[in-house]
Amino acid sequence: MQSILTLISWGPDGWLDDIAYGVFVTIALAAATLPGGLVVGFLVALAKQSDERSLRLAGNVYTTIFRGLPELLTLFLVYYGVQIGLQGLVQLFDPKATIEVNSFVSGMVALGVVFSSYASEVFLSAFRAIPRGQYEGGYAIGLTSGQTMRLVILPQLVRIALPGLANLWLILLKETALVSAIGLSDILRQAGIAARVTREPFVFFALACLIYLGLAMVSSVGIHAIERSVSRSGVKR
Please report the beta strands in 72-183, taking only residues with DSSP state E, as ranges in sequence order: none
Inter-CA distances, 134 with 7, 125, 155, 209, Å:
60, 16, 12, 45
Binning the chain into helix, strand and coil, the percentages to the nearest 5 are 80, 0, 20
In this prediction, residue 221 carries a pLDDT of 93
In this prediction, residue 235 carries a pLDDT of 47
pLDDT tens for residues 214-228?
Answer: 999 999 999 999 888
Inter-CA distances, 219 with 9, 75, 135, 166, 187, Å:
25, 24, 34, 9, 17
Identify the burial level of 62 via C-beta atoms within 10 angstroms of its C-beta, where 0-12 means exposed, 13-18 middle and 19 or more buried: buried
What predicted TM-score, i.e. pTM, was given to this entire model?
A: 0.87
172's CB contacts (< 8 A; 6+ apart) are 30, 33, 34, 37, 111, 115
**Topology classification of domain 2-202:** MetI-like fold (1.10.3720)
Note the maximum CA span of the chain.
73
Those residues of the chain that have pLDDT short of 50 are 1-2, 235-237
